[in-house]
Amino acid sequence: MSVMTGDKRYEHVLIENGKDKVRTMCEVAERLEKSCEKTGIEFLFSIFERLNNGETPEQIIASGVDPDIVNRAAEQIHIHPAIA
């Protein structure tokens, strides 16, 4: 893929965790999906941490985070969401 697109991220996915090279595009898709899930979970936990450390939803939104994500996280830990 990196040959066709010039994007080296594919190579990173293919050799991630020292695994053997993939044989099918399905294997690439599975690795990308797992990587995205991990990244998303880590991002959400960082929002929880910021809220627990005293940042308001408004401050987090002002830093560029999507308001819907911030408000949903705030509701989960019983903090009033930002006014839309």
Determine how many CB atoms are found less than 10 A away from the CB of residue 21.
8
pTM value?
0.62
* Mean pLDDT of all residues belonging to the chain: 81
- Greatest mean pLDDT among 10-14, 39-43, 59-63: 59-63
Q: How far apart are CA 70 and CA 5, in angstroms?
A: 34
> For residue 20, what pLDDT is reported?
66
Q: How far apart are CA 48 and CA 58, in angstroms?
A: 14
Identify the helix (H) or strand (E) that includes residue 70: helix 67-76
pLDDT in tens, 19-55: 667 677 788 788 778 878 888 899 999 999 999 999 9
Q: What secondary structure does DSSP assign to 14-51, as a single string?
A: HHGGGPPPPSSHHHHHHHHHHHHHHHHHHHHHHHHHHH
